[in-house]
Amino acid sequence: MLGKRLRARSRLSPLLGRSRHAYAVWLARRCARAAYGAVVGAQPANHGNFSALPTLTVVVEAGVDKVALARTLASLDNPQAAIVIEGAVGSAARRSSFEQVAVTLGKGGGWLLPISAGDTLAPNAQRRYAHVSMEVKGFVVYADDDVCDVSGQRCAPHFKPDWNPELFRHHNYLSGASIVWVDQDALLAVIDLPDWIDSLTLKVLRGSNGEWAPHHLPAILHHRAKRPSPTTPAAVKLPARAQMPKVSVIIPTRNGTQLLRTCLEGLAQTDYPEMEIVIVDNDSDDPTTLDLLSKLELPRHKILRHPGPFNYSAINNAAVRQTSSPFLCFLNNDIEILDPNWLSILVAQARRDDVGAVGPMLVYPDGSVQHAGVVLGVGGGAAHAHRDVRPEEHGYFCRHALPQFVSAVTGACLVVQRARFKLAGGFDEENFPVAFNDVDLCLKLAKLGYAALYEPRTRLIHHESKSRGHDRDPIGARRLAGELAALKAIWHTDQKPDPYHHPSLSPYSEQFVVDL
């Protein structure tokens, strides 16, 4: 019965969350719950005496719309204390305004809340920021935001992830919705820049040298007139061919002749200098499959035998022990390769000092997204992010189309350094023979300091689980239930929120939609 309720909510949540009225309903529910003092992400009624909190200097970029400026000032707790930046770039009036801010900060620096005219703050936003600033170590605190349309209605909420530096390369989700700790030199360095708010935020981030990550305050404190949009990622810079390491591509298979043939044809067209293809046969008995395997050329192809019940983790671990390449690529036999540079791109990312496992965008044969990273907690375990979104759609702030750190990537196509795979202990054969072994591996790597990276600049087709089925038979269902229980017991996926997701997004939907 519990499983049926979960499946029902998983079907309904995306439908409800995509409704144009979803956010209005969410806001109405939040207001209703606030009356009883229980709402996730609500603004606290009070944070004590404002005068006892750290000083927070509000700086408003005036622009040319005086009505918008008045609206912004009216939303502040103390409009008279705000400093308005007026005048053209380079003008004496503008310089005078910045110098006033510098004097207010003092030589030691202080917390600045820079916003643009037209943006407004939620009630108690300044108190909330000031209170949190006493508790964090770092130079940036950022909050969630939404947009006020021309009719004054709130829409398009951005429930943001915790700090994700890879995502930030392509989407500035901090500027104009954050407070920054700055000194006079940093402030005066941006006087003559028209986009000084963005530039100041970036300057503060670079000045911290990565010592302290920006702190996420998961509540909507800003109502924006406009905000930075995601940018199209530049092409991955690939190393010279002579610098590309050898890769062992490991493909478990059982029958599925046409799937395997399509996968191998794609590998034959892959532009990579040194690649070893290791096919691990798990009791194939289809004559056409056996004929295909017998005709594969050596030494480019290595055929290994792994008889017995299907255990993805054991099959791949055994194959790793019989290879020596410094990089490993775990690949399902139902993957269809579209891009000859796919492996070069994934390996280039896996070479980084901060990266563990790397995975691409996987799409269904109809072109819709099947995998864009893995989110923890969906359904209590883990699930693919942005499933069924069209790659060309905007989706949830283009997250499916942007490189970013994620909690995990799928083992259907996963590249990792051999040394790091070994350091993490490889795949867990006992607890995760079929499902969640990729999630477990990625979480073990993250614990060692190597983050999982989703890389959508390469896209492959995944004919998902066609060669093995979908675990709908009683035996498969029991096994899956056991693996889900193990994931919860080891990693507490049903208790801890995914840092790259948000408590106000539905835990029942693979698409990022408001939790209703």
Closest CA to 384 of 370, 399, 367: 370
Q: Is the Cβ–Cβ distance between 375 and 501 less than 8 Å?
A: yes
Per the model's pLDDT, the better-predicted residue between 426 and 7 turns out to be: 426
Q: Is 405 left (phi over 0), alpha (psi -120 to 50) or beta?
A: beta
Output the CA torsion 484→318→449→407 (10° steps).
-30
pLDDT at 16: 66
Q: What is the pLDDT of residue 8?
A: 44
pLDDT value at 311 more than 70: yes
Structural contact between residues 171 and 145, judged by C-beta atoms closer than 8 angstroms: no
* Average pLDDT taken over every residue of the chain: 90
- What are the backbone angles phi and psi of residue 89, rounded to the nearest 5°? -60, 130
Exposed/middle/buried for 10, CB within 10 Å: 0-12, 13-18, 19+? middle
Assign residue 477 a region (left: φ > 0; alpha: ψ between -120 and 50; beta: otherwise): alpha
Give the Cβ contact number of residue 500 at 10 Å: 24
CA distances, 212 to each of 185, 259, 484 (Å): 20, 47, 34
Is 249 exposed, middle or buried (CB count within 10 Å of its CB: 0-12, 13-18, 19+)?
buried
Distance linking the first and last C-alpha atoms of the chain? 21
Angle in degrees, CA 209, 108, 88, rounded to 5: 85
Model confidence over 486-499: pLDDT tens digits?
Answer: 999 999 999 999 99
Other Cβ atoms less than 10 A from the Cβ of 134: the count is 10
What band does 33 get if pLDDT is binned at 50, 70 and 90?
low
Both tokens of residue 17? 């969350």
pLDDT given at position 15: 56
Distance CA 173, CA 176 (A): 8
pLDDT digits over 396-446, tens only?
999 999 999 999 999 999 999 999 999 999 999 999 999 999 999 999 999
pLDDT of residue 374: 98
Report d(CA 351, CA 455) in Å as an integer: 13
Query: Which DSSP helix (H) or strand (E) runs through 489?
Result: helix 474-491
What stretch of H or E contains 24? helix 22-34
DSSP states of 382-421: EEETTTT--TTS-TTTTGGGS-EEESB--TTEEEEEHHHH
Q: Angle, nearest 10°, between helix axes 437-447 and 474-491?
A: 10
| 425 Rama sector, left if φ>0, alpha if ψ -120 to 50, beta otherwise | left
Q: Please compute the mean of the pLDDT values over residues 480-491 and round it to a whole number.
A: 96
Tell how strand 335-337 and strand 382-384 pair up.
Answer: unpaired
Determine contact, residues 231/301, Cβ cutoff 8 Å. no
